Amino acid sequence: MSAEEPLKVLVVDDSAPNRRLLTELLESSPDVRVVSTAADGNEGLRQVLALHPDVVTLDLEMPRLGGYSFLRLLKSAAPTPVIVISSYAHKADVFKALELGAFDFIAKPSKPTPDALERLRRELHEKVHAARRVRAELQPAVRRSRVIPLEPSFVVGVGASTGGPPAVQRLLESLSPEPSMSLLVCQHMPKQFTRAFAERLDRLGPFTVREAQEGDTLQPGHVFIAPGGRQLVVYRQGGQYTLGTPPPTMQDKHAPSVDRLFMSLAEVFGSKAVGVVLTGMGSDGALGAKSIRKAGGEVWAESERTAVIYGMPQEAVATGAVSRVLPLGEIGPALVELARKRRVT
């Protein structure tokens, strides 16, 4: 697609008012054009095959052919990035859709206030543009194994935003040969969805994945997801490491914040801290990367070649704190190798 061509979007939703609203919000940007709308999955599939849109926005609950069946058929007939538009009340549905191949999701505002609609407009534009730049397919899920070593090799902090859910999943799948790691994940996501995100990841591989809670103990083979709307930090208490989930302060731009997580890892683990910055818009993680580097730890970033949005990795690299820039598919194997080397030494 040339720079002059608008981004072509197909809106699939059984509600006529929703179709009109989404079309209006999407086309408020001059580089986005809604090529058509569809009221159910059957019509949506026909439109995809006829019009070849760059991105599809999808409602899950539709007559005749619902969202899940649409995703299954689309994957085999005409693979196209799909953004699910869902209400907060259907969290499990959203993550089932992600498992079936949806690129990302957007939560419908509970009340259509002017501020809520403006936030929806901005998120629509951000994610439809991100979907167009998808470069990597998810690898198949790894069969779960419950054999966990007694001692953790080391702790890794992971930060991600737009395009992050499938990237985090792919990273965890690639770490399955070394299930003794402990990971702390800061994924920008509304508070209503982080627990469902953790539950979905928990089903995929050898790690136990859960949404972090105040007072949790860092354990080998465990992945803790930062709760939406709060921060995730680590404290050392005696011979163990305890997780904290404090509310954001006035200075925090994000909740959860990659910067806050990385700064905490730098303070507690020093030269043993490892931070990984994945796809995302903005600069969250850059300040934290500098803290880890100053403490003697390592910071890695996803390369532009695979990052859906190269904003967060690029900002981290620009600080000079990043020691390795790797495609997404190489980050996991490199962490496995590092874990084994550290365990030997």
What mean pLDDT is predicted for residues 13-39?
Answer: 93
**Assigned token pair, 187:** 């994924």
Q: Are 288 and 275 in contact (CB under 8 A)?
A: yes
- Please report whether residue 145 resides in a domain: no
In angstroms, rounded to a whole number, what is the distance separating the alpha carbons of residues 195 and 102? Answer: 19
Which of 87, 117, 132 delimits the end of a domain?
Answer: 132
How many structural domains compose the chain? Answer: 2
**Residues forming the active site:** 161, 188, 284
In angstroms, rounded to a whole number, what is the distance separating the alpha carbons of residues 194 and 142? Answer: 22
- Please report whether residue 2 resides in a domain: no
- Please report whether residue 143 resides in a domain: no
Amino acid present at 5: E
pLDDT band for position 88 (50/70/90)? low
In angstroms, rounded to a whole number, what is the distance separating the alpha carbons of residues 246 and 262? Answer: 15
- Please report whether residue 147 resides in a domain: no
Parent domain of 268: 155-344
Per-residue pLDDT at 148: 35
Per-residue pLDDT at 5: 80
176 and 300 in one domain? Answer: yes
Write out pLDDT tens, residues 53-80.
999 999 888 887 888 888 888 887 788 8
